[in-house]
């Protein structure tokens, strides 16, 4: 995704402002809104030179990747249409992010990855922030070795990169 904006400073306040503004606009057809949730940031830091963080809104909990001049963001001149995937390698496994852009928005281009398909069962803002931070922090922890998990042998399936579903299953202790 080509973007002229490279953030030298943490772009989390810009995302926060953008989604807080959007939360004030009636949004028909955007999914179920959880009335106990509000827009908040649940961690943002540089990863391989670019910016990675988690955002909680009444509609979703997502990971965001924004350009910081690092190796993850696509080089200037490389166009990635909205919806194009970008596979990012983490110590916990690979995740697929989708491109999104709106040149008129506070944050004109970013990649995102859903943490939860639905937020309607999350009971409080604190719970949403905790879950988002746990997901965010778990990206940087490699999976335990097979012997720690008491797995008798390593299979071809266990050698494969972890997809988003597998990552989230591991996060909640079901993988």
Predicted confidence (pLDDT) at residue 137 exceeds the cutoff of 50: yes
Predicted confidence (pLDDT) at residue 45 exceeds the cutoff of 90: yes
Predicted confidence (pLDDT) per residue in 93-115, tens digit: 999 999 998 888 899 999 999 99
- d(CA 147, CA 163) in angstroms, rounded, equals 22
Contact 20/12 with Cβ under 8 angstroms? Answer: no
pLDDT at 93: 93
Contact 44/35 with Cβ under 8 angstroms? Answer: no
User: Would you call 137 exposed, middle or buried from its count of C-beta atoms within 10 A (0-12, 13-18, 19+)?
Assistant: middle
In CATH, what class is 12-142+153-171? alpha beta
Query: Among 18-22, 37-41, 89-93, 160-164, which is the least confidently predicted range?
Result: 160-164
pLDDT classification of 1: cutoffs 50, 70, 90: very low
pLDDT at 143: 82
Q: Where are the beta strands (DSSP E) in 6-164?
A: 40-47, 50-56, 61-66, 85-90, 93-101, 109-116
Name which of 15, 2, 24 is nearest 101 in CA terms: 2
Predicted confidence (pLDDT) at residue 2 exceeds the cutoff of 50: no
Distances (CA, A) of 21 to 37, 54, 83: 15, 18, 23
Q: What share of the chain is helix, strand, coil (3-state, %, to 5)?
A: 20, 25, 55
Contact 112/63 with Cβ under 8 angstroms? Answer: yes
Mean pLDDT of 16-22: 93
Contacts of 157 (CB under 8 A, 6+ apart): none
Mean pLDDT of 139-166: 64
pLDDT classification of 61: cutoffs 50, 70, 90: very high
pLDDT at 175: 58
Predicted confidence (pLDDT) per residue in 114-123, tens digit: 998 789 999 9
């Amino acid at each position: 995704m080509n973007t002229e904006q490279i953030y030298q400073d943490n772009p989390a306040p810009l995302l926060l402002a953008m989604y807080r503004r959007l939360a004030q606009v009636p949004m028909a057809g955007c999914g179920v809104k959880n009335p106990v949730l509000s827009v908040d940031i649940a961690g943002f830091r540089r990863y391989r030179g670019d910016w990675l963080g988690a955002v909680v809104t009444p509609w979703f909990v997502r990971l965001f990747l924004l350009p910081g001049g690092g190796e993850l963001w696509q080089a200037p001149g490389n166009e990635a249409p909205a919806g194009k995937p970008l596979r990012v390698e983490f110590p916990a496994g690979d995740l697929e992010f989708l491109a999104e852009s709106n040149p008129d928005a506070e944050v004109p281009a970013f990649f995102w990855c859903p943490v939860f398909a639905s937020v309607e069962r999350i009971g409080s803002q604190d719970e949403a922030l905790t879950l988002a931070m746990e997901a965010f922090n778990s990206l940087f922890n490699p999976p335990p070795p097979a012997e720690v998990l008491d797995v008798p042998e390593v299979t071809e399936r266990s050698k494969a990169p972890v997809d988003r579903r597998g990552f989230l299953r591991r996060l909640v202790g079901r993988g």
